[in-house]
């Protein structure tokens, strides 16, 4: 749960930065948001979640 919240916060921050710098239009942000909602309700959602969880495990296991 903490990983998904941090990913959502990171994406919100990135979208806010892109909107402020003018590199992302509001319509593009809305389309990306709608795509996320549709992906979350699709049959691909478990595979996406497992992939992100695996990537988070790999990143967390790396020692600097």
Work out the pLDDT band at 5, boundaries 50, 70, 90.
low
Q: Are 52 and 7 in contact (CB under 8 A)?
A: yes
C-alpha span between 24 and 22 (Å, rounded): 6
Other C-beta atoms lying within 10 Å of the C-beta of residue 44 = 12
- Helices 45-61, 26-40: axis angle to 10 degrees equals 100
Q: What is the mean pLDDT of residues 20-44?
A: 80
Inform me whether the pLDDT recorded for 45 exceeds 70: yes
10, 59 Cβ separation under 8 angstroms: no
Q: What is the mean pLDDT of residues 19-36?
A: 80
């Amino acid at each position: 749960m903490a990983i998904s919240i941090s990913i959502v916060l990171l994406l919100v921050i990135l979208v806010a930065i892109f909107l402020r710098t003018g590199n992302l239009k509001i319509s593009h942000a809305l389309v990306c948001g709608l795509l996320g909602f549709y992906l979350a309700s699709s049959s691909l959602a478990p595979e996406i979640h497992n992939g992100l969880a695996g990537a988070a495990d790999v990143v967390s296991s790396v020692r600097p």
